[in-house]
Amino acid sequence: MKVLVTGSSGFLGQYVVAELLRQGHEVIAVGRSLEKLRTLPWGEHPAVKFLELDLIDKYLLIAALRDVDAVIHLAAAKAGTFDIQYRDTVEITKILIEAMISTQVLRLVAVSSFSVFDYLHIPERDLVNEESRLETNPENRDNYAQTKLIQEKLCQSFSQSGGGQVTILRPGIVYGRNNFWNARLGIQLRGNFWIGIGTDAQLPLTYVENCASAIVVALTTQESIGKTINIVDSELPTQELYIKKLISKSKLKPYIFSIKWNLMCIISEIIFKISQAFFQGHLKVPSFLVPANFHARFKPLKYSNSYAQKILSWQPKYSLDMALDRSLSNLNLLEIADLSTTTFPL
C-alpha cells in the first residue's frame, strides 16, 4: 500500500513512517522542510519519497495524492493563536478532504486527541471511553481543544456524507525519547522546578511505538472504518508512579512541590469567579486555571483501551518499564523499528 503521511517529521509521525516501512508499505512523507525530512533516521530508505508541502495548497496536494492508496493525517498545530491553530489544524484538514474527494482517495486515518472530551462535566474517577461526553462549550477551552473538535467534525462529515472510509483515532499522552514530561504532571515553573497537581490521577499514556503500531493497524483493518477509537496503553500508572519510574531510570532530578487536586480545584474556581465577577473577565487568568482547562489537565479519571483491542485486535507491545528503557537507551529509530537490515519493495 502507498500511504501519504502528513506531519511525518513530528515526534509521532517519525515512528508512524518507521512502522509503515517495517510492515512493507511505501510512504510519501509530507512536511514543510525537505531538508528536515531528509535528515530523519529513515531519510535514505528507498520506500520513502519526500514532499515539501504546505497543506493549505490544494492543487499541489491533489497532485501528491495521485496513485496514493490511503492517507494518515497527523499534521496539526499544538500552539499559537486561535487563527494560527485554525489554519494549521482545521483549514488544512478541510483542504485535505477536498483533495481526497477530488482524487477519489477515500481511505483516511485521522489522528485526533483526548482534548475533545468535556472533562468539566465528566464525574471524578469516571471511566473515559469512546462514549464519553464531548466538549459542549469549546469557547471555555484552549485553542487546541477547540480546533481539534472542529477537525473531528470535518472527518466525521467526510465519513458520513462525503464517501470517506474514515477512522478517527484519539491517542492519549504520547511519550517516548525526549518526550517524557507532560501537562498532566503539573506546571513547570523554571528549569527542574515543578508544581504537581495531585499524585494519584491515572495518566492516559501511550508509548510512541505502541501508538504508531495502533495507527498502522487501524489503516489496514476493515472493521475500523467508520469508527472513533481511543488509544492508550494497558496498566496505566498514576502521576506519582510514573514520575518515580522516570526518575529511577534516568538522570532527571526534578524538584516537585505537590498540591492536592481538590484544593487546587477550589483555588482555580475562586480565581476564575473573581475574574468574572469583579473584572468582567478582563483580568487575565492563566489558561490552566480556567476550570474547563484545569479539569481537562488534572481531574482524576480512568481510561481503557478495551475498544481498541476489540476493533483492532491490537495489544500495546511495550509496558511502561520497557518503554522507558527503550527511550533511554542508545538505540536509534532505525534499530528500534528493526529497519536497519530490512529490504523494502520499491
Spell out the SS3 assignment of 142-160: CHHHHHHHHHHHHHHHHHH
pLDDT average, residue stretch 322-339: 74
Q: Give the torsion sign (CA, 274, 277, 282, 285).
A: positive
Q: How confident is the model at residue 268, as a pLDDT?
A: 87
Please, which residues have CB within 8 angstroms of residue 228's CB and are 6 or more apart in sequence?
A: 112, 130, 152, 156, 167, 168, 169, 170
Q: Which fold has domain 2-176+204-234+302-336?
A: Rossmann fold (3.40.50)
In the chain, % of residues over pLDDT 70: 93
Cell digits for 295?
A: 479539569
d(CA 70, CA 191): 42
Q: Which secondary structure element, helix H or strand E, spans residue 322, and what is its range?
A: helix 320-327
Q: How confident is the model at residue 344, as a pLDDT?
A: 30
Whole-prediction pTM:
0.91
Helices 261-279 and 291-298, interaxial angle, to 10°?
160
The pLDDT tens digits for 50-65 are 998 899 999 999 999 9
Note the Cα 122 to chain centre separation in Å: 21
Q: How confident is the model at residue 346, as a pLDDT?
A: 23
* Adjacency order of strands within the sheet including 26-31: 48-52, 26-31, 2-6, 70-73, 107-111, 165-171, 228-231
Domain ranges of the chain: 2-176+204-234+302-336
The pLDDT tens digits for 125-168 are 999 999 999 999 999 899 999 999 999 999 999 999 889 999 99
d(CA 129, CA 309): 13
Cell digits for 207?
A: 508509548
d(CA 233, CA 296): 19
Q: Please provide the DSSP assignment of 33-80 as one string.
A: -HHHHHTSTTTT-TTEEEEE--TT-HHHHHHHHTT--EEEE-----SS
Angle at 303 between CA 174 and CA 14, to 5 degrees: 15
Q: How confident is the model at residue 187, as a pLDDT?
A: 85
Please, which residues have CB within 8 angstroms of residue 186's CB and are 6 or more apart in sequence?
A: 194, 195, 196, 197, 239, 256, 258
Q: How confident is the model at residue 31, as a pLDDT?
A: 87
Report helix, strand or coil for 238: strand
pLDDT average, residue stretch 105-130: 96
Q: Which secondary structure element, helix H or strand E, spans residue 231, and what is its range?
A: strand 228-231
The pLDDT tens digits for 189-217 are 877 788 889 899 999 999 999 999 999 99
Residues pairing with 303 in the sheet? 128
Q: What are phi and psi of 322, to 5 degrees?
A: -65, -40
Angle at 143 between CA 237 and CA 210, to 5 degrees: 35
